[in-house]
A and B are shown apart, each in its own frame.
Chain A
Amino acid sequence: MSETFTIGISDMKVVKSTDSLVTYALGSCVGICLYDPVMKIGGLGHIMLPIYPVNNPKENLMRFADTCIPEMLSQMEKLGCNRRRITAKIAGGAKMFEVADDSSFGNIGQRNVAEVKNTLNRLQIRLCAEDTGLNYGRTVYFYTEDGRMVVKSFSNGIKTY
Protein backbone atom coordinates (compact mmCIF):
# COMPACT_ATOMS: atom_id res chain seq x y z
CA MET A 1 0.00 0.00 0.00
CA SER A 2 1.43 3.35 -0.92
CA GLU A 3 0.54 6.46 0.99
CA THR A 4 0.69 10.16 0.21
CA PHE A 5 2.03 12.41 2.95
CA THR A 6 1.36 16.13 3.08
CA ILE A 7 4.25 18.41 3.92
CA GLY A 8 3.20 21.64 5.62
CA ILE A 9 4.98 24.97 5.65
CA SER A 10 8.39 24.72 7.36
CA ASP A 11 8.09 20.95 7.31
CA MET A 12 10.03 17.99 5.84
CA LYS A 13 9.62 14.24 5.52
CA VAL A 14 11.59 11.33 4.11
CA VAL A 15 9.70 8.25 2.79
CA LYS A 16 10.37 5.03 0.90
CA SER A 17 8.91 3.75 -2.37
CA THR A 18 6.07 3.56 -3.20
CA ASP A 19 4.94 6.37 -0.93
CA SER A 20 4.60 9.87 -2.31
CA LEU A 21 4.81 13.37 -0.90
CA VAL A 22 2.93 16.57 -1.63
CA THR A 23 3.24 20.17 -0.55
CA TYR A 24 0.55 22.65 -1.48
CA ALA A 25 0.68 26.17 -2.82
CA LEU A 26 4.32 27.23 -2.65
CA GLY A 27 4.55 30.97 -3.22
CA SER A 28 7.94 32.44 -2.48
CA CYS A 29 8.66 29.31 -0.44
CA VAL A 30 10.73 26.57 -2.09
CA GLY A 31 9.98 22.84 -2.22
CA ILE A 32 13.09 20.64 -2.32
CA CYS A 33 12.92 17.01 -3.45
CA LEU A 34 15.95 14.78 -2.76
CA TYR A 35 16.04 11.31 -4.26
CA ASP A 36 18.22 8.22 -4.14
CA PRO A 37 17.25 6.15 -7.23
CA VAL A 38 18.88 2.94 -5.96
CA MET A 39 17.23 2.91 -2.52
CA LYS A 40 14.10 4.53 -3.97
CA ILE A 41 13.96 6.82 -0.95
CA GLY A 42 12.94 10.43 -1.28
CA GLY A 43 12.45 13.49 0.88
CA LEU A 44 10.49 16.68 0.43
CA GLY A 45 11.10 19.89 2.38
CA HIS A 46 9.10 23.15 2.29
CA ILE A 47 11.28 26.08 3.34
CA MET A 48 10.15 29.67 3.91
CA LEU A 49 13.36 31.61 4.39
CA PRO A 50 16.98 31.23 3.25
CA ILE A 51 19.17 31.30 6.34
CA TYR A 52 18.79 30.05 9.90
CA PRO A 53 19.09 32.99 12.33
CA VAL A 54 22.04 32.17 14.57
CA ASN A 55 20.88 34.72 17.16
CA ASN A 56 17.58 32.88 17.63
CA PRO A 57 18.60 29.27 18.24
CA LYS A 58 15.13 27.89 19.07
CA GLU A 59 13.89 28.09 15.51
CA ASN A 60 12.42 25.26 13.47
CA LEU A 61 15.24 23.82 11.31
CA MET A 62 12.79 23.05 8.50
CA ARG A 63 11.90 26.70 8.00
CA PHE A 64 15.28 27.55 6.48
CA ALA A 65 17.04 26.35 3.34
CA ASP A 66 20.48 26.06 4.92
CA THR A 67 19.27 23.84 7.79
CA CYS A 68 16.39 21.88 6.21
CA ILE A 69 18.45 20.34 3.38
CA PRO A 70 21.29 18.98 5.60
CA GLU A 71 18.67 17.54 7.98
CA MET A 72 16.86 15.83 5.10
CA LEU A 73 20.16 14.48 3.74
CA SER A 74 21.15 13.14 7.15
CA GLN A 75 17.80 11.35 7.57
CA MET A 76 18.21 9.79 4.13
CA GLU A 77 21.77 8.67 4.87
CA LYS A 78 20.57 7.04 8.10
CA LEU A 79 18.22 4.96 5.95
CA GLY A 80 21.16 3.83 3.81
CA CYS A 81 21.08 6.39 1.01
CA ASN A 82 24.35 7.38 -0.59
CA ARG A 83 25.05 11.06 -1.03
CA ARG A 84 26.80 10.52 -4.38
CA ARG A 85 23.63 9.07 -5.86
CA ILE A 86 21.24 11.65 -4.43
CA THR A 87 19.86 14.23 -6.84
CA ALA A 88 17.67 17.24 -6.23
CA LYS A 89 14.65 18.76 -7.93
CA ILE A 90 13.27 22.08 -6.72
CA ALA A 91 10.20 24.26 -7.32
CA GLY A 92 8.79 27.55 -6.04
CA GLY A 93 10.50 30.81 -5.18
CA ALA A 94 7.99 32.96 -7.02
CA LYS A 95 7.45 36.68 -6.70
CA MET A 96 3.73 36.72 -5.91
CA PHE A 97 3.19 40.49 -5.85
CA GLU A 98 4.70 43.31 -7.83
CA VAL A 99 4.62 46.35 -5.52
CA ALA A 100 4.82 49.47 -7.69
CA ASP A 101 6.93 51.72 -5.50
CA ASP A 102 9.14 49.02 -3.99
CA SER A 103 11.06 46.93 -6.50
CA SER A 104 12.85 44.89 -3.83
CA PHE A 105 9.52 43.64 -2.45
CA GLY A 106 9.10 39.94 -3.11
CA ASN A 107 12.76 39.23 -3.86
CA ILE A 108 12.74 36.72 -1.01
CA GLY A 109 11.66 34.00 -3.48
CA GLN A 110 14.77 34.59 -5.53
CA ARG A 111 16.92 34.61 -2.38
CA ASN A 112 15.34 31.36 -1.23
CA VAL A 113 16.18 29.69 -4.55
CA ALA A 114 19.74 31.04 -4.45
CA GLU A 115 20.32 29.71 -0.92
CA VAL A 116 18.81 26.31 -1.80
CA LYS A 117 21.27 26.03 -4.72
CA ASN A 118 24.11 27.23 -2.57
CA THR A 119 23.34 24.63 0.12
CA LEU A 120 22.97 21.82 -2.46
CA ASN A 121 26.29 22.84 -3.94
CA ARG A 122 27.98 22.86 -0.54
CA LEU A 123 26.63 19.34 0.14
CA GLN A 124 27.67 18.25 -3.37
CA ILE A 125 24.17 17.27 -4.40
CA ARG A 126 23.43 17.63 -8.08
CA LEU A 127 20.42 19.73 -9.04
CA CYS A 128 18.77 17.98 -11.98
CA ALA A 129 15.53 19.92 -12.43
CA GLU A 130 13.97 23.17 -11.33
CA ASP A 131 10.72 25.04 -11.84
CA THR A 132 11.35 28.29 -9.99
CA GLY A 133 10.80 32.03 -10.08
CA LEU A 134 8.16 33.87 -12.13
CA ASN A 135 4.97 35.05 -10.47
CA TYR A 136 2.69 32.14 -9.64
CA GLY A 137 2.05 29.61 -6.89
CA ARG A 138 2.92 25.93 -7.28
CA THR A 139 1.86 22.63 -5.73
CA VAL A 140 4.56 19.94 -5.79
CA TYR A 141 3.99 16.18 -5.92
CA PHE A 142 7.00 13.93 -5.49
CA TYR A 143 6.90 10.19 -6.23
CA THR A 144 9.53 7.95 -4.65
CA GLU A 145 8.68 5.14 -7.05
CA ASP A 146 10.60 6.85 -9.86
CA GLY A 147 11.74 10.23 -8.48
CA ARG A 148 9.22 12.13 -10.55
CA MET A 149 8.36 15.69 -9.48
CA VAL A 150 5.02 17.01 -10.73
CA VAL A 151 4.37 20.74 -10.48
CA LYS A 152 0.81 21.99 -10.64
CA SER A 153 -0.17 25.64 -10.90
CA PHE A 154 -3.34 27.63 -11.37
CA SER A 155 -2.16 29.68 -14.31
CA ASN A 156 0.37 27.36 -15.96
CA GLY A 157 -1.08 23.87 -15.85
CA ILE A 158 0.82 20.72 -14.89
CA LYS A 159 4.48 19.95 -15.64
CA THR A 160 6.46 16.79 -14.94
CA TYR A 161 10.19 16.74 -14.16
Chain B
Amino acid sequence: MSIQRLEQLNEMHIDVLKEIGNIGAGNAATSLSKMLDTEVNMTTPVVKILDITDAANLLGGPENVVIGILSKLGGDIEGIMMFIIEQEFAKSVLTSLLGVQEVSCDRLTDMELSAISEIGNIMIAAYTGSIGTLSGMNLKTTVPAITVDMVGAILSVPAIEMGSVSDKIIFIEDDFLSGKDDVTANMLLVPSIESLNRLMEKLGIQL
Protein backbone atom coordinates (compact mmCIF):
# COMPACT_ATOMS: atom_id res chain seq x y z
CA MET B 1 0.00 0.00 0.00
CA SER B 2 1.21 3.50 -0.64
CA ILE B 3 0.32 6.86 0.83
CA GLN B 4 -2.15 8.85 -1.26
CA ARG B 5 -2.57 11.88 0.97
CA LEU B 6 -0.45 13.48 3.67
CA GLU B 7 -3.10 12.88 6.35
CA GLN B 8 -2.51 9.14 5.99
CA LEU B 9 0.88 9.46 7.68
CA ASN B 10 0.82 7.56 10.97
CA GLU B 11 2.83 7.78 14.22
CA MET B 12 5.69 5.77 12.79
CA HIS B 13 6.00 8.01 9.73
CA ILE B 14 5.88 11.09 11.94
CA ASP B 15 8.64 9.64 14.14
CA VAL B 16 10.88 9.30 11.11
CA LEU B 17 10.10 12.87 10.06
CA LYS B 18 10.91 13.95 13.62
CA GLU B 19 14.31 12.31 13.30
CA ILE B 20 14.84 14.22 10.07
CA GLY B 21 13.83 17.37 11.94
CA ASN B 22 16.20 16.52 14.77
CA ILE B 23 19.25 16.06 12.60
CA GLY B 24 18.23 19.01 10.44
CA ALA B 25 17.95 21.28 13.47
CA GLY B 26 21.31 20.03 14.72
CA ASN B 27 22.91 20.91 11.39
CA ALA B 28 21.13 24.25 11.43
CA ALA B 29 22.26 25.10 14.97
CA THR B 30 25.88 24.37 14.01
CA SER B 31 25.70 26.51 10.86
CA LEU B 32 23.84 29.33 12.59
CA SER B 33 26.27 29.46 15.47
CA LYS B 34 29.17 29.73 12.98
CA MET B 35 27.42 32.44 11.01
CA LEU B 36 26.28 34.44 14.04
CA ASP B 37 29.47 33.68 15.96
CA THR B 38 27.59 32.74 19.11
CA GLU B 39 26.40 29.56 20.76
CA VAL B 40 23.08 28.30 19.40
CA ASN B 41 21.19 25.41 20.99
CA MET B 42 17.98 23.78 19.92
CA THR B 43 15.18 21.79 21.49
CA THR B 44 13.63 18.58 20.19
CA PRO B 45 11.51 19.38 17.14
CA VAL B 46 7.78 19.04 16.98
CA VAL B 47 6.48 17.56 13.74
CA LYS B 48 2.86 18.02 12.80
CA ILE B 49 0.69 17.37 9.80
CA LEU B 50 -1.38 20.52 9.65
CA ASP B 51 -4.06 22.24 7.62
CA ILE B 52 -2.87 25.48 6.06
CA THR B 53 -5.47 27.29 8.18
CA ASP B 54 -4.25 25.71 11.43
CA ALA B 55 -0.63 26.42 10.51
CA ALA B 56 -1.54 30.07 9.86
CA ASN B 57 -3.24 30.30 13.25
CA LEU B 58 -0.19 28.78 14.91
CA LEU B 59 1.91 31.50 13.28
CA GLY B 60 -0.09 34.41 14.66
CA GLY B 61 -3.16 34.33 12.39
CA PRO B 62 -3.45 34.56 8.59
CA GLU B 63 -2.73 38.29 8.43
CA ASN B 64 0.41 38.20 10.57
CA VAL B 65 3.29 39.48 8.46
CA VAL B 66 6.25 37.10 8.28
CA ILE B 67 9.19 36.40 6.00
CA GLY B 68 8.99 33.30 3.81
CA ILE B 69 12.00 31.74 2.15
CA LEU B 70 11.20 29.06 -0.35
CA SER B 71 13.25 26.56 -2.25
CA LYS B 72 12.11 23.99 -4.76
CA LEU B 73 13.44 20.50 -4.25
CA GLY B 74 14.66 18.40 -7.12
CA GLY B 75 16.75 15.31 -7.65
CA ASP B 76 15.41 12.26 -5.80
CA ILE B 77 12.70 14.26 -4.04
CA GLU B 78 10.32 16.59 -5.82
CA GLY B 79 8.72 19.11 -3.56
CA ILE B 80 8.97 22.43 -1.80
CA MET B 81 10.69 23.39 1.38
CA MET B 82 9.88 26.68 3.01
CA PHE B 83 11.33 28.41 6.01
CA ILE B 84 9.17 30.93 7.84
CA ILE B 85 10.84 33.59 9.94
CA GLU B 86 8.87 35.76 12.30
CA GLN B 87 9.75 39.44 12.35
CA GLU B 88 11.36 39.23 15.79
CA PHE B 89 13.71 36.49 14.62
CA ALA B 90 14.62 38.50 11.54
CA LYS B 91 15.36 41.55 13.66
CA SER B 92 17.60 39.67 16.08
CA VAL B 93 19.46 37.97 13.23
CA LEU B 94 19.99 41.25 11.39
CA THR B 95 21.23 42.91 14.54
CA SER B 96 23.87 40.25 15.12
CA LEU B 97 24.80 39.87 11.45
CA LEU B 98 24.82 43.43 10.18
CA GLY B 99 24.79 45.38 13.41
CA VAL B 100 21.64 47.24 12.37
CA GLN B 101 19.60 48.50 15.30
CA GLU B 102 16.41 49.68 13.63
CA VAL B 103 14.87 47.06 11.38
CA SER B 104 11.55 47.66 9.70
CA CYS B 105 10.22 44.52 8.07
CA ASP B 106 8.01 46.41 5.62
CA ARG B 107 11.05 48.21 4.21
CA LEU B 108 13.91 45.74 4.26
CA THR B 109 16.97 46.88 2.32
CA ASP B 110 18.57 44.65 -0.33
CA MET B 111 21.40 43.96 2.08
CA GLU B 112 18.97 42.87 4.81
CA LEU B 113 16.93 40.73 2.43
CA SER B 114 20.04 39.02 1.19
CA ALA B 115 21.25 38.33 4.75
CA ILE B 116 17.88 36.81 5.67
CA SER B 117 17.87 34.80 2.43
CA GLU B 118 21.24 33.40 3.41
CA ILE B 119 19.87 32.32 6.81
CA GLY B 120 16.99 30.64 4.99
CA ASN B 121 19.42 28.99 2.62
CA ILE B 122 21.40 27.60 5.55
CA MET B 123 18.28 26.33 7.27
CA ILE B 124 16.92 24.68 4.13
CA ALA B 125 20.31 23.12 3.39
CA ALA B 126 20.49 21.82 6.98
CA TYR B 127 17.16 20.00 6.62
CA THR B 128 17.66 18.72 3.08
CA GLY B 129 21.11 17.55 4.19
CA SER B 130 19.46 15.63 6.99
CA ILE B 131 17.04 13.94 4.59
CA GLY B 132 19.99 13.03 2.38
CA THR B 133 22.03 11.65 5.28
CA LEU B 134 19.21 9.48 6.60
CA SER B 135 17.86 8.21 3.30
CA GLY B 136 20.90 8.19 1.06
CA MET B 137 18.86 10.14 -1.47
CA ASN B 138 20.29 12.94 -3.53
CA LEU B 139 18.47 16.25 -3.12
CA LYS B 140 18.88 19.41 -5.12
CA THR B 141 17.54 22.81 -4.12
CA THR B 142 16.93 25.99 -6.09
CA VAL B 143 18.31 29.37 -5.07
CA PRO B 144 15.88 30.51 -2.35
CA ALA B 145 13.13 32.99 -3.18
CA ILE B 146 12.10 35.40 -0.44
CA THR B 147 8.96 37.39 0.29
CA VAL B 148 7.58 39.45 3.17
CA ASP B 149 3.81 39.18 3.44
CA MET B 150 0.78 37.82 5.29
CA VAL B 151 1.50 34.31 6.53
CA GLY B 152 -1.77 32.95 5.14
CA ALA B 153 -0.85 34.03 1.63
CA ILE B 154 2.63 32.54 1.94
CA LEU B 155 1.59 29.22 3.50
CA SER B 156 -0.78 28.26 0.72
CA VAL B 157 1.97 28.42 -1.92
CA PRO B 158 3.65 25.01 -1.42
CA ALA B 159 0.43 22.99 -1.34
CA ILE B 160 -0.98 24.80 -4.37
CA GLU B 161 2.23 24.61 -6.31
CA MET B 162 2.42 20.85 -5.76
CA GLY B 163 -1.15 20.62 -7.10
CA SER B 164 -1.84 18.96 -3.78
CA VAL B 165 -5.02 16.97 -3.29
CA SER B 166 -5.23 18.18 0.30
CA ASP B 167 -4.56 21.34 2.31
CA LYS B 168 -2.10 19.51 4.56
CA ILE B 169 1.56 20.34 5.03
CA ILE B 170 4.37 18.80 7.06
CA PHE B 171 5.25 21.34 9.69
CA ILE B 172 8.52 21.07 11.64
CA GLU B 173 8.85 23.42 14.57
CA ASP B 174 12.19 23.90 16.32
CA ASP B 175 13.14 26.22 19.15
CA PHE B 176 16.57 27.75 18.87
CA LEU B 177 18.16 29.27 21.94
CA SER B 178 20.95 31.77 21.66
CA GLY B 179 21.92 33.80 24.72
CA LYS B 180 18.70 35.33 25.98
CA ASP B 181 16.95 34.96 22.64
CA ASP B 182 14.55 32.10 22.13
CA VAL B 183 13.31 31.95 18.58
CA THR B 184 11.11 29.44 16.85
CA ALA B 185 12.06 28.24 13.42
CA ASN B 186 9.24 26.92 11.31
CA MET B 187 10.09 24.64 8.46
CA LEU B 188 7.50 23.46 6.01
CA LEU B 189 7.89 20.48 3.78
CA VAL B 190 5.50 19.59 0.98
CA PRO B 191 6.86 16.68 -1.03
CA SER B 192 5.07 15.22 -4.01
CA ILE B 193 3.19 12.10 -2.96
CA GLU B 194 5.47 9.89 -5.09
CA SER B 195 8.54 11.40 -3.44
CA LEU B 196 7.08 10.93 0.02
CA ASN B 197 6.47 7.25 -0.66
CA ARG B 198 9.96 6.90 -2.08
CA LEU B 199 11.44 8.61 0.97
CA MET B 200 9.59 6.36 3.42
CA GLU B 201 10.67 3.33 1.47
CA LYS B 202 14.32 4.42 1.50
CA LEU B 203 14.06 4.95 5.24
CA GLY B 204 12.87 1.37 5.58
CA ILE B 205 9.35 2.21 6.68
CA GLN B 206 6.57 -0.23 5.81
CA LEU B 207 3.76 1.65 4.13
Q: Which residues of A contact B (CB under 8 A)?
A: 8-10, 24-29, 48-49, 53, 56, 59, 94, 96-102, 105-106, 108, 135-139, 153-155
A10-B167, A49-B163, A155-B149 as given contacts; A101 in contact with B157, CB under 8 Å: no
* CA of A96 to CA of B70, assembled, Å: 10
Residue pair A29, B150 in contact (C-beta under 8 Å): no
Q: Shortest 6 CB-CB distances between A and B: which pairs? A: A137-B153, A25-B152, A27-B153, A24-B62, A97-B145, A25-B62
CB distance from B74 to the nearest CB of A (A): 9
Residue pair A25, B160 in contact (C-beta under 8 Å): no
Residue pair A102, B142 in contact (C-beta under 8 Å): yes
B20 touches A (CB below 8 Å): no
* CA of A135 to CA of B152, assembled, Å: 14
Q: Which residue of A lies closest to B65 (CB)?
A: A154
A27-B153, A155-B149 as given contacts; A97 in contact with B106, CB under 8 Å: no
B68 touches A (CB below 8 Å): yes
Q: Which residues of B contact A (CB under 8 A)?
A: 52-53, 56, 61-63, 65, 68, 70, 72, 106, 142-143, 145-157, 159-161, 163, 165, 167
* CA of A105 to CA of B163, assembled, Å: 12
28 contacts between A and B (CB under 8 A): A8-B53, A10-B167, A24-B62, A24-B63, A25-B153, A25-B156, A27-B153, A27-B154, A27-B160, A28-B160, A29-B156, A48-B159, A56-B165, A96-B68, A96-B147, A96-B149, A99-B143, A100-B143, A101-B143, A102-B72, A108-B161, A135-B147, A136-B149, A137-B154, A139-B62, A153-B150, A154-B63, A155-B106
Residues in A neighbouring B165, C-beta threshold 8 A: 53, 56, 59
Q: Is the interface of A mostly helix, strand, loop or mixed?
A: loop
Residue pair B70, A25 in contact (C-beta under 8 Å): no
Residue pair A137, B149 in contact (C-beta under 8 Å): yes
CB distance from B78 to the nearest CB of A (A): 12
Residue pair B152, A27 in contact (C-beta under 8 Å): yes
Which of B56, B145, B167 makes the CB contact (< 8 A) with A25?
A: B56
Residues in B neighbouring A48, C-beta threshold 8 A: 156, 159-160, 167
Residue pair B106, A154 in contact (C-beta under 8 Å): yes
CB distance from A1 to the nearest CB of B (A): 25
A49-B163, A137-B150, A155-B106 as given contacts; A96 in contact with B143, CB under 8 Å: no
Since A25-B62, A48-B156, A97-B147 are in contact, a sample of 4 more A-B pairs with Cβ atoms closer than 8 Å, ordered by chain A residue number, is A29-B160, A49-B163, A97-B145, A98-B145
